A and B are shown apart, each in its own frame.
Chain A
Amino acid sequence: MTEINNDHDLIERFNDGDESAFNELVRKYQHRIYWHARRMTGNHLDADEIVQEVLLVMYKKLKDFKFRSSLYTWIYTITSTRSINLLRRRSIQEIFSLQDSGVDRAADSDIIKDFETKEEVNRLEKHLQKIPAKQREVFVLRAIDGLSYEEIAEITGKSVGGLKSNYFHALKKITALMQNEE
């Protein structure tokens, strides 16, 4: 509740023209935005692009935010939507592109410096990319971010029952993929 009140104050200050309030909001949520985008897209470059897009949306739309939902679920929704749109754009580009579609974007640059951690994260991210984006969204929000089904329902607009089923299917699929890998 304190977090919501704090967000409310920051948004009001920002809408009154206090740019430092926006800076505070960014610093508060940038990690969540980046890591959610990264798990959805599977690489740093795309996640970075989405972070900048999400901040721009926040900057433009915060004045219309009515607190019908929590700010962080609203931010998750924007991040998910942007990630799914980017993945669609990428697959269309790959279909029509004459260039090699198997460019390893993860290898280009990364903010994970420890080699072993990077290898492990890349391995898990690759498995995540093998399940449908909508299932991935639910799996990431539940299994990694630890959100409740009610919060995920707020983000995705789906029913709690449907989300539970989606989550379990995703978990089974990834387990099967990882067993095949071994």
Chain B
Amino acid sequence: MKNEEKIRKYIEGELSGEELINFEKEINNSPELKKEIDSLRNVLNQFKKLKNVNADENYFTNILPRFRESTYKQKQLRIKPSFAVGSILIVLITIIVFFITTNKEDVIEDEQITLQQLDNEELKTYLNNYSQDLTTSQLTENIPEDYDSLFSSMMADELSLNGYSGDYLVDVTSNEFDNILDELSEEEIDNIYNNLIKERF
């Protein structure tokens, strides 16, 4: 057995019988060992006194009321789980709706930018596809003014009115139509009528 282990056992009263007698002989024969053991015991005795320190009992009386007070406050501050879940859902839905709305506007803006860059043929194809999902007012809002003549020619193509100006057709409003008729001679009206009959029917 190592000497340290013997010292520990001796101090803690774990040695007995012959082991104890032999170690006590060893201590008596070695002043150095005796001094070491005395020092260790002295330190232990000082720390053992810490077990019975007189302290203010009011502190201990107040431990429980303070604890109860703090837990009561925590309970009051605690948010009900259903309320917390509901609030989180509302915030999430608001964020999702916001993003969807913002992204739609971005798409329209992107399409307007691209529209400026198209040549006439590309624009024609684009308008044919794009106009299917939009009303006339939405469509014209998104078409730049420069493309009015192109738009008119597309309408003329649609009506198979070869040789007529699309611009003229687009510009005519219902109020102006009566004025135009008044200005035409009988011969001109017959001519238009015959042409229309010939082209469309």
Contacts and interface: CB of A to CB of B under 8 A. Distances in A.
B193 interface: no
Contacts of A157: none
A112 B51 contact: no
Interface string A45-66: 0001001100110010000000
B60 A146 contact: no
Interface in A111-149: 111-114, 117, 120-121, 124, 139, 143-146
Contacts of B56: 111-113
A143 B63 contact: no
A8 B136 CA distance: 82
A175 interface: yes
A181 B2 CA distance: 29
B50 interface: yes
A174 interface: yes
Nearest to B9: A164
A51 B63 contact: yes
Contact of A168 (B4, B39, B50): B4
Given A23-B64, A52-B67, A59-B71, A144 B51 contact: yes
B43 A174 contact: yes
Nearest to B50: A144
B44 A171 contact: yes
Interface in A1-47: 23, 26-27, 30-31, 34-35, 39
**Majority secondary structure of chain B interface residues (helix, strand, loop or mixed):** helix
A99 interface: no
Interface string A165-182: 001100110110011000
Interface in B76-116: none
A171 B46 CA distance: 12
Interface in B153-198: none
Nearest to B45: A143
B54 A117 contact: yes
Interface in B1-52: 4, 7-8, 39-40, 43-44, 46-51
A103 B39 CA distance: 32
B8 A179 contact: no
Nearest to A143: B47
Contacts of B64: 23, 26-27, 30
B66 interface: yes
Contacts of A114: 54
B75 to A, nearest CB: 11
25 contacts: A26-B64, A27-B64, A30-B60, A31-B60, A34-B60, A51-B63, A52-B63, A52-B66, A52-B70, A56-B71, A59-B71, A112-B53, A113-B55, A117-B54, A121-B50, A143-B48, A144-B47, A144-B51, A164-B8, A171-B43, A171-B44, A174-B43, A175-B40, A178-B43, A179-B39
Interface of B: 4, 7-8, 39-40, 43-44, 46-51, 53-56, 59-60, 63-64, 66-67, 70-71
Among all A-B residue pairs, the 9 with the closest Cβ atoms:
A111-B56, A111-B59, A111-B55, A168-B8, A175-B43, A55-B67, A143-B47, A144-B50, A30-B63
Given A56-B71, A144-B51, A171-B44, 20 more contacts: A26-B63, A26-B64, A30-B60, A34-B59, A35-B53, A39-B50, A51-B63, A52-B66, A52-B70, A55-B63, A59-B67, A111-B59, A121-B50, A144-B47, A168-B7, A168-B8, A171-B43, A175-B43, A178-B43, A178-B46
